[in-house]
Amino acid sequence: MAKLPVSVHPRVVIVGGGFAGTELAKKLSKASLQVVLIDKNNYYTFQPLLYQVATAGLNAPSIVYPYRKILEKGNDTFFRLAEVEAVDPVNRIIETSIGLVQYDYLVIATGATTNYYGNEQIEQHAIAMKSVEDALMLRNTIICNFEKALQVGDEEQLNSLMDFVIVGGGPTGVEIAGALSELRKHVFPKDYKELDFIKMDIHLIQSGDHLLKGMSHAASTEALQFLQEAGVQVWLNRRVKSFDGYTVLLDNGEKLITRTLIWAAGVTGAPIKGLDPACITSGNRLKVDVYNRVAGYENIFALGDIAEMITAENPDGYPMLAQPALQQGRLLGANLPKLIAGKPLKPFVYTDKGSLATIGRNKAVADVKIFNKEIRTQGYFAWLIWLFVHLFSIIGFKNRLLVFINWIWNYLSYDAVMRVIIGTKKENVPVEKVTDKVLV
């Protein structure tokens, strides 16, 4: 049994503590409701900076925050560390790894998972970029590759360790490619004097004909420009057909040799079992109305990446980004108490604050709205906007301070000092065993 205190208030169970779920939980913790937040981690993750954890610029603890700390002040607010397995809408019960939980209102904010488009071989060998564990695994793998590279003689082996292939030309892919090129330029040559970093190739593979789909033409062309100046090899209109942990096969038959394939090529919804198939879209998301109510249910809601809200004004739904999630969480936080009080609800209206992507030191692209003024800028000013926006989106003053100090430090020292191997790494095809006993 999942032990939870009995309450005089109706119980709202929120599944998933991403941008949407956390924002909602914070809002509702002040209302006269019993709030139960369930997540498989005990900490909130600020996903936009995962790539900096992966590239040794930040340490993981400074971009995460314990849920229990976030919800501390709520008197009838609870957190449970659990995986949700299924929902029984008729009896208003969810099945979790810690037992059954009764709900009056259920909010599904499970977000999206990495989409490998059914290719299990790629899923097995690639590294995704959705969680802190992913980011740390990538960091450990990158560093171990260079440590191993010091030991191999054979050129192809060397390339397989020193080359990196990133799949997906969205913000994550672009930002990782940029960060890797910075490490190649400023950090790794100091660490590995014996290696020739001319040999380190960074490939970015994008299925479409431009980067940063969804951003302005200026943004995508400038991003491409910046990456190419940084020596990143960008392949447009290409798809990865297979990856066995060593050879990447592209759709045009070309091959790339690498042990490290970073998969940032797309996400898909992850709905909970037990819901009426009629409410699930082709993209595995949940159809919701303008109040984020899941189609066909009175007391089940969906927020953020998992929710697909299609209206006349907005036939394609909203992008799977932080802003729609945050805004939907905030609105439902206001609507739920109204619903319970029998007051009319406010429909969702999306305020597009624009998007940003950084390509490393002093370089970013920005399509933003500031005081309702559309600003499209690339380069240094965009980079400052990026820094500002991200710094102030981090939860917890201390984390913000620590990230700020790290950024200043890394900027001035051209360094990324978090290059320590702690935890697991990806072991693809083993590096050629040491056979000869020749000494050098």
Binding residues (CB under 8 A) for a second copy: these are 1-6, 41-43, 59-62, 64-66, 68-69, 72, 78, 80-81, 93, 98-102, 132-133, 136, 143-144, 147, 150-151, 153, 190-192, 194, 396, 398, 401-402, 405-406, 409, 415, 417-424, 434, 436-440
Cβ atoms of 335 and 313 closer than 8 Å: no
Helices (H) and strands (E) in the chain, counts: 12, 24
Nearer to a second copy, 73 or 338 (CB): 73
Nearer to a second copy, 136 or 336 (CB): 136
Sign of CA dihedral 368, 304, 18, 21: positive
DSSP state of 29: T
Nearer to a second copy, 78 or 263 (CB): 78
User: Residue 374, exposed/middle/buried by CB under 10 A (0-12, 13-18, 19+)?
Assistant: exposed
Q: CA distances (Å), 84 to each of 27, 88, 101, 413, 434, in order? A: 22, 12, 10, 45, 46
Closest CB 142 distance from a second copy, rounded Å? 12
Nearer to a second copy, 19 or 235 (CB): 19
Closest CB 102 distance from a second copy, rounded Å? 5
Closest CB 165 distance from a second copy, rounded Å? 24
Closest CB 388 distance from a second copy, rounded Å? 21
| DSSP secondary structure, 320-382, as one string | SSHHHHHHHHHHHHHHHHHHHTTPPPPPP-----EEEEE-STT-EEEEEEETTEEEEEEEHHH
Nearer to a second copy, 143 or 310 (CB): 143
Nearer to a second copy, 94 or 202 (CB): 94
Which amino acid appears at position 306 of this protein?
Answer: I
Helix (H, G, I), strand (E, B) or coil at 262: strand
Closest CB 166 distance from a second copy, rounded Å? 24
Please state the φ and ψ torsions of residue 320, each to the nearest 5 degrees: -80, 75
Nearer to a second copy, 314 or 413 (CB): 413
User: CA 199: distance to chain centroid?
Assistant: 29
DSSP state of 150: T
Q: Which of 256-272 are b and which e, b meaning 16 or more Cβ less than 10 Å from the residue's Cβ?
A: bbbbbbbbbbbbbbbbb
d(CA 15, CA 324): 17
Closest CB 190 distance from a second copy, rounded Å? 6
Closest CB 128 distance from a second copy, rounded Å? 16
Nearer to a second copy, 60 or 165 (CB): 60
Closest CB 98 distance from a second copy, rounded Å? 5
